[in-house]
Amino acid sequence: MPVSGTGASLLQRLESWVADYRFRPRFTEQGQLVSVGDGIAWISGLPSARMNGLVMFADESRAMVFDLSVDRVGVVLLDDSQELTSGMPVYLTNERLSVPTGNGLIGRVVDPLGRPLDDEGELGDWVLRPIEQKSPPIIHRDFVNNPLYTGIKVIDTLIPIGKGQRQLIIGDEGLGRSSLAIDAVINQRGLKVLCVYVLVGQKRSSVISTINTLRKFEAMEYTTIVVAEASTLPGMQFLAPFSGCTMAESWMHTGHDTLIIYDDLSTHAKIYRELSLLLRRHPGREAYPGDIFSIHAGLLERSTTLSAETGSGSMTALPIVETEQGDIAGYIPTNLISITDGQIYLDLNLFSAGYRPAIDVTRSVSRIGGQAQHSKIKKEAGRMKLDYLQFLELEMFTRFGAKLEASMEHAIRRGRILREILKQEQRNPLSAEFQLAWLIAYNTGLFDKLEHSEVPNVLEYLAGKLNDEPLSLEASRESWLEKVNFWLKNFPRQNMI
């Protein structure tokens, strides 16, 4: 069968396959289905089977080899067939699992095998690419040196992300982890970044909500969604992150910048634990199999920035992981924290207090994103995180009614204004130019006389003026300061500054 397509019908491809068919002896290894259930099956009589190889049952449904023992082979089912029965013949295909990749997937919703789930017909241009890939060698990689803007103030200024970086989004359920990721995808509009959003083990209502949101903000024009609902076979849910990674990886190798969201890897780890226990593998900590770390490390290591000699593409990964009661010392969260290049931590107390996004700056870090941050934003935001952390400590003293020096009161007042500035509503991504504008205004004290309630209106006014009179990031600081000062002085409120 062909390994690529251009939107031709299935009948045309079959006709081409028949035309190329030649009669010759063919040898196929045949086994027998021993038992089936819960998304896995045991097979006997396939001595040449290898890990991750494909087998085909007599009813043409497929499965992937997941476990090898002396006398039996454990496989995970890829097709939901009701005709599988004990004793059914099974054939070794000598093929590796592959998925369609290419521009035909842009704007589409597909399952982990690349089959369309939307109502837009067959895929356009595509090429099959094996799911199992090695991560790029070190000599093919480059430094992370270009920023990836999420449009979220607190991230783009204090926890910056670079293209090719792996930044974990971590927090309890319901604190806005997926919302942050969706906002990051929406912000890529017009920035020439292709996105892949992988939904693992989620309810259909959540899947539909995500798709509708991305369509509403016209983000599907550069996005592919890979869906493995909670009701699908466990094997399909396990494969979903690897399928999405393979699709993004193919664009990376053709020189594109890509962003992939894994929503979420804690569910993926539970699926892998379920499959491993069903296949009678030895359980380790918290009953997870011992290789869960290497499974996630192998997946996330494929995200990188390629050197100029290998195409200059990049794949930025935003894996999402869930914590319980804010405990980041859990097994899977600590694994992923050690694999990734930083984390964005969402805090329940901040969320309950009404801060959106509820990002805890004290526990969030970006280890390499600062190297990719634009030099002017980096210079303006240089000491801001440290000053903000000092403000949080100083604010603790005010709870005891201690008398403060004037300098400390000034620092606390500026810190509270900064906290108001960093608040941001969902689905309202902001440009890098706006980030620089408010940073300059804050650092030069133009916001010092504001009341907290005035901050949202002033920021909205500033964003509007910037849209009317755009200014480049490359413009001098004096030009920026002159413009921002002029705009704020003409804010329709007398004696504000």
Give catalytic residue positions.
367
Tokens of 234: 């466990």
Asked if residues 272 and 288 have their Cβ atoms less than 8 Å apart, the reply is yes
Q: How many residues make up the chain in this entry?
A: 497
Residue 341: φ, ψ to 5°: -95, 15
Nearest by Cα to 261 from 309, 223, 292, 304: 223
- Residue 219 CA, chain-centre distance (Å), reads 15
CA distance 228 to 239: 9
Looking at residue 162, the DSSP 8-state letter turns out to be B
- Strands (DSSP E) found in 234-341: 257-263, 314-322
CA distance 333 to 309: 35
- Residue 465 CA, chain-centre distance (Å), reads 33
CA distance 318 to 300: 9
Asked if residues 91 and 56 have their Cβ atoms less than 8 Å apart, the reply is yes
For residues 439-448, b (16+ Cβ closer than 10 Å) or e, as one string? bbbbbeebbe
Tokens of 338: 């050690």
Asked if residues 72 and 44 have their Cβ atoms less than 8 Å apart, the reply is yes
Q: What is the largest CA-CA distance in the chain?
A: 94
Q: Residue 64 carries which side chain, given as an amino acid letter? A: M
